[in-house]
Amino acid sequence: MTTVVVTGGAGFIGSNLVRYLRRKHQDWRIFNIDKLTYAGNLDNLAGIEVGPEYNFIQGDVADGAMLARVWARRRVKYVFHLAAETHVDRSLNDAVPFVRSNVEGTAVLLDVARAEGVEKFIYMSTDEVYGAVPKGSDEVFTEDSPLKPRNPYSATKAAADLLCQVQYASREMPIVILRAANNYGPYQHPEKFLPLMLTNLMEGRQVPIYGTGQQLRDWLFVEDTCKALVTLAEHAEPGSIYNLAGSGIIPNIELARKVLGVLRMEEEDSLKMVEDRPGHDFSYPLSAEKIERELNIRSETKLDDGLRRTIFWYRSNEDWWRAIREGKFKDYYKKQYSEL
């Protein structure tokens, strides 16, 4: 039996990955380790029954003793390491939890996985580790581009990315790194741009657009990421690093307009320009040539299709997002969006 560890499996991408694995690899045995921070949510896993093929462990990846217990008496084939603090805006206010989970957590997990054994360790990195290109630049990031992160979130992701790389360099630990663009899809926490936009609009509120809305992002449907993660586990060479782009970069304001188009809402009433994010990264244009050439992986979902599916999901799952918005999120929202 193939045993896999997913960290951060109660978050957005992690829960989509658990669902994907339960659909596509029903004989795999999953150990989902998640601390259940404000971003982790067992509602994301509703319908996935705990049993021989699926186990949930509430725990911190920086807790080596807990990790050693997970490894005890079983051979773990793949680790999908997704657990992290992930929100740039929060990291700009308090970097410490990011260092603890993203850097220390990754270091501890790497040590345990190396000591106890793993056939492939997949680290979910981000395009943000490259830093950003300024407006007007035609630079595109390849896997060999230097890492120049520009906010605490991406600095800790870059540190963890390097910790993974050095485990391969020094100990030939079978690490594979995926640097992915902005994911979107079902179960994304409403603090992130697209779900914030959808849930605000559904609550009759305006959508906050940072600065002028001209920053560019590349949107990648979460199911394409899940497929890529599994292909990497099964086929990528140890020590390899891959970029995964989405459907092409577009300005934030254009994404908002697309959403308003689907919802048939007027721009004037719906969008509100607010103070910009400090040091707001302009764009992370990725070359996805390597992953396509070597592993035949490409993100297949067109933005318009993925958006329609995502909007449909948020419309059909009001109970899920209202429960989040009515909880602690209220305080965060008030503080972050005092202009609204």
Exactly one of 156, 215, 240, 270 binds ligand TYD (CB under 6 A); that residue is 215
Span near ligand NAD by CB under 6 A; candidates 64-72, 78-86, 207-215, 317-325: 78-86
Q: Which CB contacts under 8 angstroms, 24+ apart, belong to 324-332?
A: 324/41, 324/189, 324/190, 325/190, 325/199, 325/203, 328/38, 329/38, 329/190, 329/191, 332/90, 332/191
Q: How far apart are CA 78 and CA 61, in angstroms?
A: 16
Is 82 a binding residue for ligand NAD by CB under 6 A? The answer is yes
Residue 111-130 contact track with ligand NAD, rule CB under 6 A, x = bound = -------------x-x----
Q: What are the residue ranges of helices labelled H in the chain? A: 12-24, 64-71, 88-93, 96-98, 105-116, 152-171, 193-202, 222-235, 252-263, 267-270, 289-295, 303-316, 318-325, 329-336
User: Residue 44 — φ and ψ, nearest 5°?
Assistant: -65, -20
Exactly one of 186, 208, 285, 306 binds ligand TYD (CB under 6 A); that residue is 208
User: Residue 221 — φ and ψ, nearest 5°?
Assistant: -70, 135
DSSP conformational letter for 104: I
Exactly one of 38, 210, 313, 332 binds ligand TYD (CB under 6 A); that residue is 210
Name which of residues 232 to 261 contact ligand NAD (CB under 6 A). none
Is 101 a binding residue for ligand NAD by CB under 6 A? The answer is yes
Is 10 a binding residue for ligand NAD by CB under 6 A? The answer is yes
- For 89-103, the DSSP string reads HHHHH--HHHIIIII
Is 107 a binding residue for ligand TYD by CB under 6 A? The answer is no
Exactly one of 5, 118, 196, 249 binds ligand TYD (CB under 6 A); that residue is 196
Span near ligand NAD by CB under 6 A; candidates 10-18, 67-75, 135-143, 196-204: 10-18
Q: Which does 88 bind (CB under 5 to 8 A by kind): ligand TYD, ligand NAD, none?
A: ligand TYD
Interface with ligand NAD by CB under 6 A: which residues?
A: 7-8, 10-14, 33-37, 39-40, 60-62, 82-86, 101, 105, 124, 126, 157, 180, 182-183, 189
